[in-house]
Amino acid sequence: MGKTIAEKILSNHAGKDLRAGDIAICDVDFCFGQDGTSAIIIDSFKKLGMKNVFDKSKFYMIIDHSAPSPNIGTSEIHKKMREFAKTFDVGLYDIGCGVCHQLIPQKGHITCGDLVIGADSHTCTYGAINVFSTGVGSTDLAITLASGKNWFKVPETIKVVVNGKLPKGVYSKDMILHIIKDIGANGATYKAIEFYGDAISSLSVDGRFTITNMAVEMGAKIGVMTADKKVLKWVQERSSKEPKPVAPDIDARYVAVKNYDVSNLSPQVAKPHTVDNVADVEELKSVKIDQAYLGTCTNGRFEDLEIAANILKGNSIHPDVKFVIAPASKEIYLEAIKKSLIEIFIKSGATVVGPGCGPCVGTHNGVLADGEVAISTANRNFKGRMGNPNAFIYLASPATVAASAINGEMTDPRIYKKRLS
């Protein structure tokens, strides 16, 4: 019986043959924490009594969740992180650099076949470039920071096959929301998901990150794809590490196989307050919105900004709507300036804030008022997520968010037919 991607990557890192259900100690290629999790990483690391981190080149801290700091408590955490970085001579991406899940692949820290853990649940994002990457807590991260290792249970794998040509105005975000609706918030708990199909291979690498980013919204440990030419090119342009692409065996064992056809898919919207509460945009036409948000580790990449800018160009956002835009990294921000996207956003009435996670996690830069409704390109719409438990969050693609910002209500982006890619 052959092996899945998860079984192969974990076997490679344990130095022995592993199958789903096995538990093993594995070597970790890269690990990181952000400002919501690093304070406890630092405390736990100190409790371990270690004098050094296992490998200075394999750990980074990123200040992105509240950047720049909105209050004294957070400032103290940021200070603690900066001091730790200096004392232990480890890397830190400070405010303004960007969102961890954009920076880590973009800056070339990881490559195909790697085993990566991050103290952030959306660490599963890097599966799009053939990495076994998963979120852990701060204590697990501290132990890896001390030893370079951690223990892993080899997950069973669900195979998801997505075929069909995406219609104009429908994107990878719609695809993953559609899949989450079917599998459910708890449908892949503890499992790996491997994604295949011509609808996946036709996506850019940026578009694929949107899909693997949301694997955890079904409870999955990883969401992973194979490394095709696009992935290898993307990775080699950014990382000097030798890629070690891993593909499953032809007779690998899957606990389930799910097939989808997206040829007739409508733009999808997740309604409050769970990510699997998904509807076609047509069903939500009368829902008025108070705020729109474009950005995050799900949809803050250049391609996302470009899709939104094409719809916004020459249009003004609705007078009752606040539109907040945060590019996912400094490099994306600069590219968006160069290509005049930022000018389009500002002229349309949107507010562009620095790269970071703020509005999505409700720390600052757009906290909602009681009863307000937001449409966001993020990955979670939990009650209270954007800072107020009495507000309502809908999740959608950059195109649906931009179209809705112009009209002040949930809007099908396909009305801007000529502007869509």
| Contact between 223 and 131 (Cβ < 8 Å) | no
Q: For another protein, what does the binding mask look like between residues 331 and 360, x meaning CB under 8 A?
A: ------------------------------
Q: For another protein, what does the binding mask look like between residues 143 and 162, x meaning CB under 8 A?
A: x--xx-x-x-x---------
Which residues, at least 6 apart from 394, have a Cβ–Cβ distance to it below 8 Å? 269, 270, 271, 272, 284, 287, 289, 373, 374, 375, 376, 381, 410
219 binds another protein (CB under 8 A): yes
Which residues, at least 6 apart from 15, have a Cβ–Cβ distance to it below 8 Å? none
| Contact between 217 and 133 (Cβ < 8 Å) | no
- Nearer to another protein (CB atom), residue 98 or residue 155: 155
Of 9, 10, 97, 142, which lies in the binding site for another protein, with binding defined by CB under 8 A? 142
266 binds another protein (CB under 8 A): no
- Nearer to another protein (CB atom), residue 291 or residue 400: 291
135 binds another protein (CB under 8 A): yes
Taking CA atoms, 240 is separated from 58, 232, 236, 332, in Å, by: 14, 12, 7, 21
CB of 173 vs another protein, minimal distance in Å: 19
CB of 3 vs another protein, minimal distance in Å: 18
371 binds another protein (CB under 8 A): no
Task: Report phi then psi at 215, rounded to 5.
Answer: -60, -35
CB of 267 vs another protein, minimal distance in Å: 25
Q: How far apart are CA 60 and CA 39, in angstroms?
A: 13
Q: Hey, CA dihedral for 39, 41, 47, 50, is it positive or negative?
A: negative
Of 51, 87, 89, 186, which lies in the binding site for another protein, with binding defined by CB under 8 A? 186
3-state secondary structure of 32: strand
| Contact between 375 and 404 (Cβ < 8 Å) | yes
Which letter, b or e, does each residue of 84-97 get, where b requires 16 or more Cβ atoms within 10 Å of its Cβ? bbeebebebbbbeb
- Nearer to another protein (CB atom), residue 145 or residue 342: 145
Residue 139 corresponds to which tokens in the numbers above? 């204590």
CB of 43 vs another protein, minimal distance in Å: 8
Q: Hey, CA dihedral for 66, 332, 109, 114, is it positive or negative?
A: positive
Of 263, 283, 382, 415, which lies in the binding site for another protein, with binding defined by CB under 8 A? 382
How many residues sit in the footprint of another protein (CB under 8 A)? 55
Of 327, 359, 362, 398, which lies in the binding site for another protein, with binding defined by CB under 8 A? 362
Of 2, 15, 17, 47, which lies in the binding site for another protein, with binding defined by CB under 8 A? 47
Of 106, 363, 400, 407, which lies in the binding site for another protein, with binding defined by CB under 8 A? 363
Q: What single string gives the DSSP state of each residue in 252-302?
A: B--SEEEEEE-TTPPPEEEPTT-TT-EEEGGGGTT-B-SEEEE-HHHH-SH
Residue 200 corresponds to which tokens in the numbers above? 């996946």
Residue 176 corresponds to which tokens in the numbers above? 């993953």
Q: Which of 149, 138, 129 is closest to 10 using CA atoms?
A: 149
CB of 39 vs another protein, minimal distance in Å: 5
- Nearer to another protein (CB atom), residue 185 or residue 232: 185
Q: For another protein, what does the binding mask look like between residues 56 and 95, x meaning CB under 8 A?
A: ---------xx----xxxx-xx------------------
Binding site for another protein (CB under 8 A): 23-25, 35-37, 39-40, 44, 47-49, 65-66, 71-74, 76-77, 118-121, 123, 135-140, 142-143, 146-147, 149, 151, 153, 185-186, 189-190, 219, 221, 274, 361-363, 380, 382-385, 387, 389
